[in-house]
Amino acid sequence: MSNLDKRTLSIVTFIDALGWEVLKGRSFMEEELPHRRPLRSVFGFSSACVPSILTGRQPQEHGHWSFFYKSRGPSPFRGLRWLRHLPRRITDRGRVRSQISKRLKKKLGFKGYFQLYNIPFQHIDRFDYCEKKDLFKAGGINQGNSIFDRLDNAGVDYHVSDWRSGEPENISSLLGAIKQDSIRFAFLYMADMDALLHQVGKNSDRVDEKLRWYEHRLRELLDCAGQHYDEVRLFVCSDHGMATVHTHVDVMAQIESLPLEFGKDYLATYDSTMARFWFDAPEAEAQVRRTLSNIPQGRVLSRDELEALGCAFAGDQYGELIFLVDAGTIILPSHMGTAPITGMHGYHPDHADSDAALLSNVPPLTDPRGIADVFHLMAAEAGA
CATH number at residue 169: 3.40.720.10
Report the alpha-carbon distance of residue 37 to residue 23 in Å, rounded: 11
In this prediction, residue 94 has a pLDDT band, given cuts at 50, 70 and 90, of confident
Mean pLDDT over 145-153 rounds to 98
Q: Which of 146, 143, 148 is nearest to 62 (CA)?
A: 143
Query: Mean pLDDT lowest for which of 95-99, 100-104, 129-133?
Result: 95-99
CB-based contact 12:374 (threshold 8 Å): yes
Does residue 320 share a domain with residue 181?
no
Residue 293 pLDDT exceeds 70: yes
Does residue 84 share a domain with residue 43?
no
Supply the pLDDT for residue 210: 98
**Number of domains present in the structure of the chain:** 3
Report the alpha-carbon distance of residue 378 to residue 158 in Å, rounded: 11
Supply the pLDDT for residue 83: 87
Domain extent, residue 24, equals 8-59+134-243+349-382
Does residue 328 share a domain with residue 206?
no
Q: Which of 357, 380, 381 is nearest to 369 (CA)?
A: 357
Mean pLDDT over 60-73 rounds to 96
Mean pLDDT over 174-196 rounds to 97
In this prediction, residue 124 has a pLDDT band, given cuts at 50, 70 and 90, of very high
Give the whole-number percent of the chain exceeding pLDDT 90: 91
Supply the pLDDT for residue 4: 39
| In-domain check, residue 2 | no
Does residue 301 share a domain with residue 257?
yes
Does residue 360 share a domain with residue 308?
no
Does residue 114 share a domain with residue 72?
yes
User: Which tens digit of pLDDT belongs to each residue from 31-49?
Assistant: 999 999 999 999 999 999 9
| In-domain check, residue 112 | yes
> What does pLDDT average to over the chain?
95
In this prediction, residue 162 has a pLDDT band, given cuts at 50, 70 and 90, of very high
Mean pLDDT over 242-262 rounds to 97
| In-domain check, residue 36 | yes
3-class secondary-structure state, position 85: helix
Mean pLDDT over 235-239 rounds to 98
Supply the pLDDT for residue 2: 37
Does residue 13 share a domain with residue 25?
yes
Residue 255 pLDDT exceeds 90: yes
Supply the pLDDT for residue 6: 64
| In-domain check, residue 3 | no
Supply the pLDDT for residue 173: 98
Does residue 234 share a domain with residue 371?
yes
| In-domain check, residue 141 | yes
Does residue 199 share a domain with residue 51?
yes
In this prediction, residue 114 has a pLDDT band, given cuts at 50, 70 and 90, of very high
Mean pLDDT over 311-320 rounds to 96
Report the alpha-carbon distance of residue 57 to residue 49 in Å, rounded: 10
In this prediction, residue 84 has a pLDDT band, given cuts at 50, 70 and 90, of confident
Does residue 231 share a domain with residue 106?
no
Residue 197 pLDDT exceeds 80: yes
| In-domain check, residue 169 | yes
In this prediction, residue 87 has a pLDDT band, given cuts at 50, 70 and 90, of confident
Report the alpha-carbon distance of residue 75 to residue 129 in Å, rounded: 9
CATH number at residue 287: 3.30.1360.180
3-class secondary-structure state, position 152: helix
Does residue 106 share a domain with residue 195?
no
Does residue 210 share a domain with residue 143?
yes
Give the whole-number percent of the chain exceeding pLDDT 70: 98
Residue-by-residue DSSP string for 169-208: HHHHHHHHHHHTT--SEEEEEE-HHHHHHHHH-TTSHHHH
DSSP 8-state assignment for residue 383: T
Query: Mean pLDDT lowest for which of 35-49, 116-130, 232-246?
Result: 116-130
